[in-house]
Structure 1
Amino acid sequence: MFIRIVKMSFHEENIPAFLENFDIMKSKIRNAPGNRFLELYQDKNDKCIFFTYSYWETEDDLENYRKSELFYDVWTFTKKLFNAKPEAWSVDKLVSLK
């Protein structure tokens, strides 16, 4: 299992549209094959910056999602709202304290 972090920055006037669409799509994304966890964060200092944080079973699961009609629909809508190029990282969890 690995973690995918995506940073997205939006024009301020597009934030409500992004949040509305995310609310509609979040369960579909979370239930994509291989997805085990999904959260959305908003930066405390810059309300235009958001992060998704998701757990994926395998890299193939993430790639299959990225090739899916669901991703196409989500990304086609979302990318029109950006004010900067999105950034993404795939990371392995090394330590977790509870």
Structure 2
Amino acid sequence: MIVRIVKMEFQEDKVTDFLQLFEERKERIRHFEGCKHLELWRQSGKSNIFFTYSHWNAESDLDHYRFSDFFKDTWQLTKALFAAKAEAWSVEQEVVME
């Protein structure tokens, strides 16, 4: 399983636009082949910094999503709202802590 974390900083006056876009598209992302989980987080104390946190069956599923027309359209609309360049990480769990 791959966990994808994307940090996005938005222009202060564009946060509502982003939240509306995410609300409109989140279910389609969640139902994309290979996506097992999707959450949106906001940085504590920062009203314009968000993280998407998603689980994918495999890197190939994530890549299929990332190269889809749906993602390209969504990302283009999202990028237009940014105050800074996004950062992204794909990680795998190394050790299960109990």
Tell me the TM-score normalised to structure 1 length.
0.95
Aligned-residue RMSD, C-alpha: 1.0
Alignment of 1:1-98 (within 5 A): 1-93=1-93, 94-95=95-96, 97=98
How many Å separate the matches in 2 of 1:80 and 1:90?
A: 23
The answer for unaligned runs of 5 or more in structure 2 is none
1: CA distance between counterparts of 2:81 and 2:48? 11
Instruction: Measure the CA separation in 2 of the matches of 1:48 and 1:36.
Output: 26
Alignment length (residue pairs): 97
- Long gaps (5+) in structure 1: none
TM-score w.r.t. length of structure 2: 0.95
**How much does 1:96 deviate?**
5.0
